[in-house]
Structure 1
Amino acid sequence: MKFATKAQLSLMMFMEFFIWGAWFVTLGTFLGNNLQAKDQEISLAFSTQSFGAIIAPFIVGLIADRFFNAEKILGVIHLIGAALMYGLYQAEGFSSFFPFLLAYMILFMPTLALVNSISFNQMKNPEKEFSVVRVWGTIGWITAGFLISFLGWDSQSGLQEGLLKFTWVMAGTLSFALGLFSFFLPKTPPKAKSSGEFNIRESTGVEALSLLKDKNFAIFFLSSILICIPLAFYYQNTSPFLTEIGLENSTGKMALGQVSEVLFMLALPIFFSRFGVKKTLIVAMAAWAIRYALFAFGDVNEGAWMLLVGIGLHGICYDFFFVSGQIYTDSHAGEKYKSSAQGMITLATYGIGMLIGFWAAGIISNYYTDLTGHHIWKSIWLIPSGISVLVLLFFISLFKEEKKISPN
Structure 2
Amino acid sequence: MQGELENRNEPQAVFRWLWIVFFLNGMTPGFWMPALTNIFNARGLGDWVSVAFVVPPLCALISPLIGGALADQRVPANRLFAWASVLASGALLAAFSSLDAGWNPWWFVCLLGMYSLFSGPAWGLLTVISLTHLEHGERRFPLVRVGATLGWMAAGVMTSYVLGADTSPTAGYASAVARLLCGVCAFMLPHTPPLGTGRSWRSRLGLDAFSLMRNRDHLVFFVVTALFSIPLGAFYMYAPELLKELGDKRSTATMTIAQLTEIVAMLLVGSVMLKYRVKTVLLWALGLSAVRFGMSACAGATGSIAWHIGGIALHGMCYTFYFITAQVFMDRRVDPGLRGQAQGLLALVTGGLGPLVGAMVCGALRNHLVTDDGRGWMEFWGILSAMIAVCFIIFAIFYRGLGKEEPAGS
Equivalent of 1:144, from 155, 158, 170?
155
- Given the two structures, how large is their TM-score scaled by the length of structure 2? 0.83
1:172 equivalenced with 2:176 (yes/no) = yes
Please state if 1:56 is matched with 2:59: no
Are positions 1:87 and 2:98 aligned together?
A: yes
- What amino acid is aligned across from residue 185 of structure 1 in structure 2? M
Task: Report the identity percentage.
Answer: 24
Deviation at 1:127, TM superposition (A): 4.8
Helix, strand or coil at the partner of 1:26: helix
Structure 2 matches for 1:296-307, cutoff 5 A? 296-298=297-299, 303-307=304-308
Structure 2 residue aligned with 1:102: 113
Q: How does 1:313-324 map to 2 (within 5 A)?
A: 313-324=314-325
- Could you tell me how far 1:144 is from its partner in structure 2? 0.6
1:33 equivalent among 24, 38, 42: 42
Residue in 2 that maps onto 1:43 = 50
Q: Is the 8 A contact 1:265 1:315 kept in 2?
A: no
Following TM superposition, by how much is the alpha carbon of 1:200 offset from its aligned partner in structure 2, in angstroms?
A: 6.3
Alignment of 1:327-406 (within 5 A): 327-335=328-336, 337-370=338-371, 372=372, 374=374, 376-400=376-400, 402-403=402-403, 404-406=405-407
Contact 2:22 2:145 survives alignment (8 Å): yes
Segment of structure 1 superposing worse, 7-16 or 383-392: 7-16
Measure, in 2, the Cα distance between the counterparts of 1:119 and 1:281.
Answer: 22
Q: Indicate the RMSD between aligned Cα atoms, in angstroms.
A: 3.3
Matched letter for residue 217 of structure 1: H
Equivalent pairs, count:
395
| Equivalence map 1:79-228=2 (5 Å) | 79-116=90-127, 126-127=137-138, 130-151=141-162, 153=164, 163-179=167-183, 181-182=184-185, 185-186=188-189, 188=191, 191=193, 201=202, 206-228=207-229
CA deviation map 1:336-371 (0-9, x unaligned): 65443333232223221221111101111111233x
Cα distance in 2 between the residues matched to 1:97 and 1:134: 30
CA distance in 2, matches of 1:281, 1:200: 34
What TM-score, normalized to structure 1?
0.83
| Partner amino acid, structure 2, of 1:56 | S
In the aligned structure 2, how far is the partner of 1:245 from the partner of 1:307?
A: 9
Residues 301 and 6 of structure 1: is their aligned pair in 2 closer, same or farther, counting only changes over 3 Å? Answer: same
Q: Deviations over 1:250-289 (max 9, x none)?
A: 2222112112112112222443444422222221111111
Q: Distance in 2 between matches of 1:327 and 1:259?
A: 22
Change (3 A) 1:354 1:55: same
C-alpha distance in structure 2 between counterparts of 1:332 and 1:123, whole Å = 17
Offset, 1:219: 2.2
Letter in 1 for 2:231: P
Alpha carbons of structure 1 residues 204 and 352: separation in structure 2 relative to 1, 3 Å? farther
Gaps of 5+ in 2: 1-9
| Aligned mates of 1:102, 1:164 — CA distance in 2 | 20
Contact 1:261–1:315 (CA under 8 A) maintained in structure 2: yes
